């Protein structure tokens, strides 16, 4: 007999553990098909798993009573402040209004030329080598450079900034906590200096995000220095690892599938649509968490205040009820851009337009210069749990 909690079967799957590539999606698919809801007991607080597309969307839309006090179901008490994520309701909206314009399509468009330029530079640097670790030598450098540019900081700072952010990330997923704390301090000091420099020499707040954060008033009050630094840190945490991860999965797919790669090579105009379908198929943030702040019922489950809910992004994006033949890569599939890779509701990913641009630019520029490549023979591809990424992706090509 299966044990159940309020009729939900238990799940004992530890989603924080590393697996072979695509191992997490296989687990998610199996759990979603076995039952509509589950209760996972692998963490201290446990969590209700919402898995099917419609349930997950509905969960995101319950933002009035399910708050981001637990941002991740797997790690509900992370202790790290993030802004604007940690805010809810009106306070969240007010902060988002300050930052949104820098990530709206018009602002992202302003970065387009620079995105192409930087992407080409990096590819041209790698091309003559005939191979690289795509994850370390390209997929993380590219978004780091663009992030610095977005903040109005020198791209060359990436040389020292990158190792700090990598150490900090490693800390979230089992790495050395002391090293991570030291890295976090260095990053905060770096942002602190940048913000102070802007206080002394303000730029156009319509164009420069840091100047805007300094000048902005919320309910008549300026945003505190500490909060500004938290915003910068959050943007960094949200934008770098995810883009790197997405690129790792996309290039694994294309290295293995000659027909799909052909399509990308022959039809560079399909880049944005292809990126969208990749985001559906391979979401890196495969779950979001919420904390129940007002007890209530959800389709037959009685949720108590303080319960943790798992919003199964990875499960929903591959739910065959919503996306027929979810394992197939279908550019422009019907309703394909309703996927939840960026979440939904008011907290949906702020950087999604930038992410889309970044991915489409790489698809175009890379395949124009290095159309054919393969994964180095004998490579075992391992994906990190918690929030998916590939540890390494060695690619080779003819020069």
Q: Which residues contact 284 (CB under 8 A, 6 or more apart)?
A: 241, 242, 245, 246, 249, 341, 387, 388, 389
Please state, in angstroms and rounded to a whole number, the distance separating the CA atoms of residues 108 and 113. Answer: 10
Shortest Å distance, C-beta 337 to other proteins: 5
Stretch in the footprint of other proteins (CB under 8 A) among 92-100, 125-133, 180-188, 241-249 = 92-100
Q: Which of 178, 171, 189 is nearest to 225 (CA)?
A: 189
Query: According to CB under 8 A, which residues from 254 to 283 bind other proteins?
Result: none
Counting contacts by CB under 8 A, is residue 57 touching other proteins?
yes
Nearer to other proteins, 169 or 342 (CB): 342
Shortest Å distance, C-beta 317 to other proteins: 11
Q: Nearest 5°: CA angle at 226, between 225 and 228?
A: 65
Binding other proteins (rule: CB under 8 A), the pick from 42, 263, 338, 392 is 338
CA distances from 130 to 244, 315, 373, 376, 393 (A): 21, 37, 9, 11, 14
Nearer to other proteins, 265 or 349 (CB): 349
**What is the CB neighbour count within 10 angstroms for residue 305?**
11
String of b and e for 258-281 (b: at least 16 CB within 10 Å)?
Answer: eebbebbbeeeebbbbbbbbbbbb
Nearer to other proteins, 42 or 338 (CB): 338
String of b and e for 373-392 (b: at least 16 CB within 10 Å)?
Answer: bebeeeeebebbbbbbbbee
Contact between 138 and 256 under an 8 Å Cβ cutoff? The reply is no
Counting contacts by CB under 8 A, is residue 61 touching other proteins?
yes
Binding other proteins (rule: CB under 8 A), the pick from 106, 218, 294, 295 is 106
Helices (H) and strands (E) in the chain, counts: 15, 16
Contact between 152 and 203 under an 8 Å Cβ cutoff? The reply is yes
Nearer to other proteins, 239 or 248 (CB): 239
Counting contacts by CB under 8 A, is residue 205 touching other proteins?
no
Shortest Å distance, C-beta 385 to other proteins: 26
Shortest Å distance, C-beta 348 to other proteins: 6
Nearer to other proteins, 118 or 322 (CB): 322
Nearer to other proteins, 110 or 185 (CB): 110
Shortest Å distance, C-beta 94 to other proteins: 12
Counting contacts by CB under 8 A, is residue 34 touching other proteins?
no
Counting contacts by CB under 8 A, is residue 345 touching other proteins?
yes
Counting contacts by CB under 8 A, is residue 339 touching other proteins?
yes
Stretch in the footprint of other proteins (CB under 8 A) among 81-89, 185-193, 336-344, 382-390 = 336-344
- Which DSSP state fits 219? T
Please state, in angstroms and rounded to a whole number, the distance separating the CA atoms of residues 167 and 387. Answer: 16
Please state, in angstroms and rounded to a whole number, the distance separating the CA atoms of residues 4 and 254. Answer: 41
How far out from the chain centre does Cα 77 lie?
19
Nearer to other proteins, 32 or 339 (CB): 339
Stretch in the footprint of other proteins (CB under 8 A) among 179-187, 250-258, 296-304, 334-342 = 334-342
Counting contacts by CB under 8 A, is residue 326 touching other proteins?
no
Contact between 393 and 247 under an 8 Å Cβ cutoff? The reply is no
On the question of a cis peptide bond just before residue 84, with omega within 30 degrees of 0, the verdict is yes
Q: Which residues contact 357 (CB under 8 A, 6 or more apart)?
A: 108, 111, 112, 115
Counting contacts by CB under 8 A, is residue 103 touching other proteins?
yes
Binding other proteins (rule: CB under 8 A), the pick from 346, 381, 392, 396 is 346
Task: Locate 192 and state its tokens.
Answer: 């602190």
Nearer to other proteins, 64 or 176 (CB): 64
Binding other proteins (rule: CB under 8 A), the pick from 2, 259, 334, 380 is 334
Binding other proteins (rule: CB under 8 A), the pick from 337, 370, 375, 397 is 337
- By CB under 8 A, name the binding residues for other proteins: 57, 61, 96-97, 100-101, 103-106, 334-335, 337-340, 342, 344-346, 348, 352-353
């Amino acid at each position: 007999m299966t044990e159940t909690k309020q009729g939900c079967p238990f799940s004992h799957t530890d989603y924080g553990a590393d697996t072979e590539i695509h191992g997490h999606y296989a687990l998610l698919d199996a759990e979603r098909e076995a039952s509509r809801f589950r209760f996972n007991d692998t963490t201290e607080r446990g969590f209700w798993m919402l898995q099917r597309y419609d349930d997950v969307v509905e969960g995101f839309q319950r933002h009035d009573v399910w708050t981001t006090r637990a941002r991740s179901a797997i790690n509900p008490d992370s202790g790290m402040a993030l802004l604007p994520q940690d805010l809810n309701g009106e306070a969240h909206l007010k902060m988002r209004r300050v930052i949104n314009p820098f990530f709206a399509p018009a602002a992202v468009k302003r970065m387009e030329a620079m995105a192409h330029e930087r992407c080409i530079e990096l590819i041209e640097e790698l091309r003559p080598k005939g191979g690289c670790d795509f994850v370390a030598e390209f997929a993380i450098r590219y978004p780091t450079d663009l992030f610095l540019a977005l903040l109005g900081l020198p791209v060359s700072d990436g040389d020292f900034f990158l190792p700090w952010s990598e150490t900090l990330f490693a800390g979230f997923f089992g790495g050395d906590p002391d090293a991570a704390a030291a890295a976090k301090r260095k990053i905060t000091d770096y942002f602190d200096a940048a913000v102070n420099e802007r206080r002394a020499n303000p730029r156009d707040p319509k164009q420069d995000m840091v100047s805007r954060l300094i000048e902005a008033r919320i309910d008549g009050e300026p945003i505190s220095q500490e909060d500004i630094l938290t915003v910068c840190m959050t943007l960094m945490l949200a934008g770098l690892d995810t883009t790197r991860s997405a690129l790792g999965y996309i290039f694994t797919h294309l290295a293995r599938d000659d027909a799909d790669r052909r399509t990308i090579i022959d039809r560079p105009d399909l880049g944005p649509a292809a990126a969208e379908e990749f985001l559906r198929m391979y979401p890196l943030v495969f779950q979001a968490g919420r904390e129940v702040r007002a007890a209530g019922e959800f389709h037959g489950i009685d949720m108590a205040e303080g319960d943790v809910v798992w919003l199964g992004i990875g499960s929903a994006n591959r739910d065959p009820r919503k996306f027929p033949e979810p394992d197939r890569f279908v550019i422009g599939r019907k309703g394909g851009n309703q996927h939840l890779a960026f979440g939904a509701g008011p907290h949906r990913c702020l950087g999604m337009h930038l992410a889309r641009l970044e991915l489409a630019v790489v698809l175009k520029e890379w395949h124009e210069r290095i159309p054919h490549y393969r994964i180095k023979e004998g490579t075992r591809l391992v994906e990190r749990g918690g929030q998916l990424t590939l540890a390494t992706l060695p690619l080779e090509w003819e020069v």
